[in-house]
A and B are shown apart, each in its own frame.
Chain A
């Protein structure tokens, strides 16, 4: 038992943590970090955010994270083979995404950035849909209303306002605070530490606080905004910013799927109950590059990466499961085989994704198509038809 002191999630905003972000404790997340499973695979308890997890649930988290990592490594390999134009890697952030994704209820709605492959997986979106986006066959081909999972947003932080507006709509529909678990709805906005500097994110905080909107701001602080370190974004730990906007901020070990699940679930329930927004800072690390075009060896030390490898989110669950006799070799081998199958499916599926027909560029610009666009489309078709048989 090494439980942190029983401080409230928003306490200590002006305490010694002010320098935390620059100090040596920063790499461990500071004293307020909520953790339920240590990097060594030891189960610890927290006075406020603790849950009982069934063996089945724990095995499920493990499977989810292994498959999510496989999606990511497969996509990265596909990019190296020229099958994808670019890929935004999540390596190291599996626990943050699965913990958050599994805490959602069907009616909750998620507004992702462009790295939420694990959350998308939890929502039931076929990972091939994300590959299509990064391959360039479309801008994302899942139905946001079917999965309650919006399309990826490339402009940093813009979706935090969409989430807040959606949450304001939820309020107006009366879908908060009814006590009906199938009705009360929370909204999640995903963003990163870099996005926390954006005006839209801060405006979203203002709106959410002002209207007490049922939204959870889920920040995956992976320490790097491409090459810009967290020190370039914030003088204080990010979760402490929430206090300034008038709602609670919680820092959770983003490499700990149990803690991430527990904290997110609490924040989601708070939103569903009509108690307003929460800021969750999932303290994690991007073990790979920002995207496949990036070269992290130019801006960060390999020592840092090595130290974070020791906190791998999957390894600690595996150790815990093994140590407690909750899995055997056969189970782990089954998961590994399932991941291999998934990799194969994605590899073949990606290569088989058809290019859109060129005329598709004219579709869906408007709900009510305009004459001028119709004329351009017809002209385009006629122009192409004029080449038929000439080559």
Chain B
């Protein structure tokens, strides 16, 4: 069956499907029950699955993730919602010291099939701690897998795949896309693999690498560049740990140029890793150094000036000009 859905709807449908398919799947988090989550991603699920499976949690992020660890040890598959990106830090210890390591230190005897959903990124005019991009913190942690969806169809499939995965998955949702665009979902199709990057626009002059909210930015930039006769390839990374470098390297070998676009701070971010790997693997194919466009190395600014902080079409095109000058 096909239908037009938003990202929020896709995630909601995906969670519902996962809960129908496996009664060990539980949702936990602040306000996920009666309210349906502050972004309404879990809307209606408590009504249909009950309070034992859609659990309104006390306001304690470490508690939410830490109890999920115990739930997983009892054989459940908890999906926890961190209300906003900047609130994940109280749970950081449980995520990086416990969730990430229990499978390892138990020699595989204890599985941690936990999904930690985090609405991430800026652009919604929020107050501080509501617009951050913490992905590098988690991608830097062995034992965790980190993915970011960018569109409604991926939202529907990727959340189900993350829940089915026996490893802990940090699941990043671009909050400003939740209700932005609709896309056609055909739920009879076979989905892309969860841990795979994907070329979303073909091009020949340079490769733009993006994920989550910046995929849309990159596609817009590619459209604008096309009017000036420049052909940009756009890759939606989708998975940040593990990185799926295959399509990236293949593309950069063809175009000779790569520009990474993300909202997170540039310093020691995903762009740094991508740049290093591309340089190691494609050195002789490169016509220019790998460039990075991202948030500046400041705390996330007050929202009235966030548009200056967030990578936009013009900054991407400016980087393209610099790349082409080499």
Contacts and interface: CB of A to CB of B under 8 A. Distances in A.
Contact of A161 (B63, B75, B105, B243): B63
B76 A172 contact: yes
B178 to A, nearest CB: 28
A364 B104 CA distance: 5
Contacts of A158: 66, 93-94, 97-98
Contacts of A271: none
Interface of B: 26, 52, 57-58, 60, 62-63, 65-76, 78, 90, 93-94, 97-98, 102-111, 113, 142-143, 145, 165-167, 195, 242-243
Residue among B57, B62, B90, B102 having the largest count of chain A Cβ atoms under 10 Å: B62
Interface stretch (A26-34, A35-43, A68-76, A162-170): A162-170
A172 to B, nearest CB: 5
Smallest CB-CB A-B distances: 5 pairs: A165-B70, A161-B66, A169-B74, A165-B67, A139-B105
Contacts of B74: 165-166, 168-170, 173
Given A151-B105, A367-B167, A204 B143 contact: no
A298 interface: no
A203 B167 contact: no
Contacts of B109: 143-145
Most chain A CB neighbours (cut-off 10 Å) among B60, B67, B90, B195: B67
A164 B98 CA distance: 15
Interface residues of A, number: 45
Contact of B66 (A165, A172, A368, A370): A165
Nearest to A199: B62
Contacts of B111: 367
A164 to B, nearest CB: 5
Nearest to B166: A367
A141 interface: yes
B58 A161 contact: no
A169 B106 contact: no
A328 B103 CA distance: 48
B103 A366 contact: yes
Contacts of A385: none
Interface of A: 111, 138-141, 143-145, 150-151, 153, 155, 158, 160-173, 187, 199-200, 203-204, 206-207, 210, 363-368, 370-373
Main secondary structure, interface of A, reads: helix
Given A165-B71, A365-B143, A366-B143, A203 B66 contact: yes
A203 B60 CA distance: 7
Given A203-B60, A367-B108, 20 more contacts: A139-B106, A140-B105, A145-B109, A150-B73, A160-B66, A161-B66, A161-B94, A162-B69, A165-B69, A166-B71, A169-B75, A170-B74, A171-B52, A200-B62, A206-B58, A207-B60, A364-B103, A364-B104, A367-B103, A367-B111
Nearest to B56: A210
B107 A138 contact: yes
Contacts, number: 140
A161 B110 CA distance: 16
Given A155-B98, A203-B63, A372-B242, A167 B70 contact: yes
B70 A168 contact: yes
A155 B52 contact: no
Contacts of A363: 107-108
B110 A144 contact: yes
A207 B67 contact: yes
Given A365-B143, A367-B166, A200 B63 contact: yes
Given A367-B108, A368-B165, A368-B166, A155 B93 contact: yes
A209 to B, nearest CB: 9
A164 B108 CA distance: 22
A366 B58 contact: no
A140 B143 CA distance: 17
20 contacts: A140-B105, A140-B106, A145-B109, A151-B102, A155-B98, A161-B63, A161-B67, A162-B98, A165-B67, A165-B68, A171-B52, A203-B58, A203-B60, A204-B66, A206-B63, A207-B67, A365-B104, A366-B103, A370-B145, A372-B242
Contacts of B90: 199
B107 A141 contact: yes
Nearest to B102: A151
B197 to A, nearest CB: 12
Contact of B67 (A138, A143, A164, A371): A164
Nearest to A141: B107
Given A169-B76, A200-B62, A163 B70 contact: yes
Contacts of B167: 366-368
A161 B145 contact: no
Nearest to B90: A199
Contacts of A364: 103-104, 106-108
